Amino acid sequence: MLNRFARALFTRLLTPVAAVLLRLGVSPDAVTLVGTLGVSAGALWLYPTGHLLAGTLVITAFVFSDTVDGIMARSSGRSSSWGAYLDSTLDRVGDAAVFGGLVLWFTGGGDDRLTAVLALACLCLGAVVSYAKARAEGLGMTANVGIAERADRLVAVLAATGLVGLGLPDVLLTVVLALLALASLVTVVQRMLEVRRQALAADPPRRPPRPAAGARRTRRGTPAAP
């Protein structure tokens, strides 16, 4: 949902930034790498030490590189399969760092086993959501369905974590993580059903051949010996 409604807005806002970086000779791949390093550092250094608000602000600042690198690639004519592959792969690294950082905090100083388990569930299910789509595309099908796409999950967890960092009770983040885990599971099922529908339409099940007319059959239904 956020992908559809927010992409145009952020593209308009970040296009001047992308233009400046291109004039400075910065490549889209470099922006992708720096953004992933920034997200990972904020999540795996600040979150586990209990700096939830600071970590969220750092992650938010670097997560926009995911939009900037795409604008730069299109503006400079450098869009490529390699760039798309690198971007998608490092997106998974960043997502894992965010939820992994929360797992480390709530199994350590945060001392909340339930929230830690839910964060781990979001990490695992988020990876399956992405894999379900990638595998479908590898088989020549699509899986662009689901109630919890990557942007939705990321915005929800960052907003909740930032609010907890401002002083709201931890239960807010616990509830958000539980809803994200459930939404991710539903998305996995939706994508599996969508791929199944496409696969059956492309390759309908074959019926077994009928025996020749007039052939005698035994009691078990197999042709009798001559």
What tens digit of pLDDT does each residue of 93-119 get? 999 999 999 999 999 999 999 999 999
Q: Catalytic annotation on 91?
A: yes
223, pLDDT greater than 60: no
Task: Tabulate helix, strand, coil % of the chain (nearest 5).
Answer: 75, 0, 25
Tell how many helices (H) and how many strands (E) occur in the chain: 8, 0
Q: How far apart are CA 44 and CA 101, in angstroms?
A: 5
Percent of the chain with pLDDT over 90: 60
Which pLDDT score, from 0 to 100, does residue 6 have? 64
| Selected catalytic residue, list 91, 95, 112, 152 | 91
Which pLDDT score, from 0 to 100, does residue 83 have? 86
Give residue-wise pLDDT tens across range 54-75: 999 999 999 888 888 888 888 8
Token representation of residue 225: 């010996």
